[in-house]
Structure 1
C-alpha cells in the first residue's frame, strides 16, 4: 500500500509544511513557525525534528529550507548557488572566486567549496553534502555583480569582467596561469568595462599587475591610459608575482612593478 506523503508526520508538522507550501515559503524561520503554531517551544522542537527527518534543511540557526513534499524520500537539494543565496538572506553578497573561475571558463578545476563574498561574515558551513565558505570583504569591492535565474530564484554572481579582476587579485594555480587566462579571455570580454572595474578596485598593487599583463596581452596604451593614471605617480613598486616574497628583479617603470619571477 502506498503511503500518504503526510502519513509519518504529526498534525502540527502537516499543518506547518502544508501552510508553507500553500504560501510558497521556500524558507521557514523560527519566527514563522511560532506564528503558525502559536508556541515557541513547540515550534523549535518541531523544526529540529523535521530537520532530523530530512523534511527541512538547516541553512543556519533558526532558518530552514523546505524540502518539497514530492521529493523522493526527501533526498533533495536545490542548486548550490540557490542554497548560498538563501543562506545569505538579506546580506549583500555575490558568488565568486573559484566558483566563478570555473563558471566563466578560466579554469577546469572544480571548486571544493561554494565561495560567497559578502559584507558581514566569515564562516564555513556544510549544508547537506555541500561546503560553503562565506568571506567578508569591503563594501568597496561589491560591484560588477549580476543576477542569474536558477530554479525560479535569482542569484547574485560576479560577472565575467569582475571575476577576472578577482582572478588577478586572488588567483588559483600558478601566477603564470593568470597571464595565460588574460591572453585567452582578452577577446571575449568587454575591455572597457574590465578596465573600469580595475580602476575601481581598491588595491593599487592589483591594478599595477593587471596593467602590466594587459599590455603584455596586446591591449593598446590608449585603452590603458586611465588605468595607468589610477596607480599614481609615487615611486612605490609592487612585486609582480605575489606568490614570491622576494623583491629582487628588474623594474618596469611604466606600471611600477618588480619583475620578481
Structure 2
C-alpha cells in the first residue's frame, strides 16, 4: 500500500480534493460560494473551510474570502505577497495601494512601512492578515486618480503612480514636511513635473497646492510651469504654515504662495 506523504496526513479526502482542485484551476481567491458549489451542501462547505483555516492551509482575508497556502510550502511556512492580498481584499472596489507603502516603493523614503495602506472609495477598516497589518482608508471619489496598474505574479494590482504618490506625500508626510521636502528635492528630476502640477490642481486641498508650489519654485521650476498651479490657489489671502506639524507659526511671509515659512 502506498504511503501517504506527511504533508497530506492531516487532510481529509474532501480537503485534499478541494486543495487539489484549487491548485489545478490556479485559483487565487477562494470564496465560500466557490466551495459550496463544489460540495453542494452549505454546512459541509463551511466545516471544510473552517478546518482548513485551523490547519493553516487557508488564510482568511475577510468573511467568505480565503487564500490557499500552497501544498508544497514546507510546514505551511509561506507568506502571500502583500500587494496581492490587498488586491484580493478590495475585490471590485475602486482602490489603490498608497501612502507610506508607496513612499517606500518609489524610493521617496528608506523607511520600511509596517502597514499596507489601501486607499479606496468605500470603506475604512484595519485588519491583520498573516501577521501583516492592512489599513483601508476611505477617500472621496475626487481623490481617486493617478492610479497605475501593475502585475504581481499575474495578479492585477492598482497602485498610485510616482507623481500621485508625491501628492499624497505632501498631504500626509511622515510627521514633518521636511520629509516631503527632501523627497521632492531628491526626485524632482525623475518625475514628470507637468503631470505632478496637474495632479496638484486636481487635489481638493488648497493648502497642499500652496506648500508644494512654494517648494517647486524654490527648486527652480519655471513660472510658465507653475502658473496654472498658482492660479489654482485662488485669490483669498489665507496664509498656511509651510510645516503644519510645527507648533510655531512664526516665519517670513511668502505672499506669492500665501505661505508662512515656519522652518
Q: Same fold (TM over 0.5)?
A: yes
| Per-residue Cα deviation, 1:48-75 (whole angstroms, up to 9, x for no partner) | 1101111110000111011222222222
Partner residue in 2 for 1:36: 38
Q: How many residues align?
A: 261
TM-score norm. by structure 1 comes to 0.94
Alpha-carbon separation, structure 2, partners of 1:26 and 1:112: 24
**Which piece of structure 1 moves more, 114-123 or 221-230?**
114-123
Partner residue in 2 for 1:20: 22
Partner residue in 2 for 1:92: 94
Q: Does structure 1 retain, via aligned residues, the 8 Å contact 2:176–2:243?
A: no
1:171 matched to 2:173: yes
Choose the corresponding residue for 1:106, options 105, 108, 123. Answer: 108
Q: Taking structure 1 as reference, are residues 23 and 2 closer, same or farther at Cα in structure 2, changes over 3 Å only? A: closer
Residue 183 of structure 1 deviates from its aligned partner by 1.2
Alpha-carbon separation, structure 2, partners of 1:138 and 1:245: 29
| Structure 2: stretches of 5+ with no match in the other structure | none
Partner residue in 1 for 2:63: 61
Where do 1:45-56 residues align within 5 Å?
Answer: 45-56=47-58
Partner residue in 2 for 1:74: 76
**Which piece of structure 1 moves more, 9-18 or 217-226?**
9-18
Partner residue in 2 for 1:116: 118
Alpha-carbon separation, structure 2, partners of 1:122 and 1:177: 26
Q: Does structure 2 retain, via aligned residues, the 8 Å contact 1:54–1:75?
A: no
Partner residue in 2 for 1:257: 259
Q: Does structure 2 retain, via aligned residues, the 8 Å contact 1:92–1:119?
A: yes
Alpha-carbon separation, structure 2, partners of 1:242 and 1:171: 10
| Structure 1: stretches of 5+ with no match in the other structure | none
Residue 4 of structure 1 deviates from its aligned partner by 6.2
Residue 228 of structure 1 deviates from its aligned partner by 0.5
Q: Does structure 2 retain, via aligned residues, the 8 Å contact 1:148–1:154?
A: yes
Task: Give the SS at the match of 1:186.
Answer: helix
| Per-residue Cα deviation, 1:69-122 (whole angstroms, up to 9, x for no partner) | 222222212211111111111111111111111111111111111111111121
**Which piece of structure 1 moves more, 170-179 or 102-111?**
170-179
Q: Does structure 2 retain, via aligned residues, the 8 Å contact 1:16–1:37?
A: no
C-alpha RMSD of the superposition? 1.6
Q: Does structure 2 retain, via aligned residues, the 8 Å contact 1:55–1:74?
A: yes
Q: Does structure 1 retain, via aligned residues, the 8 Å contact 2:175–2:245?
A: no
Choose the corresponding residue for 2:214, options 212, 215, 218. Answer: 212
Task: Give the SS at the match of 2:189.
Answer: coil
Runs of 4+ in 1 over 6 A off after TM superposition: none
Q: Does structure 1 retain, via aligned residues, the 8 Å contact 2:28–2:68?
A: yes
Residue 190 of structure 1 deviates from its aligned partner by 0.6
Alpha-carbon separation, structure 1, partners of 2:261 and 2:253: 6
Partner residue in 2 for 1:198: 200
Q: Does structure 2 retain, via aligned residues, the 8 Å contact 1:182–1:217?
A: no
Alpha-carbon separation, structure 2, partners of 1:2 and 1:61: 32
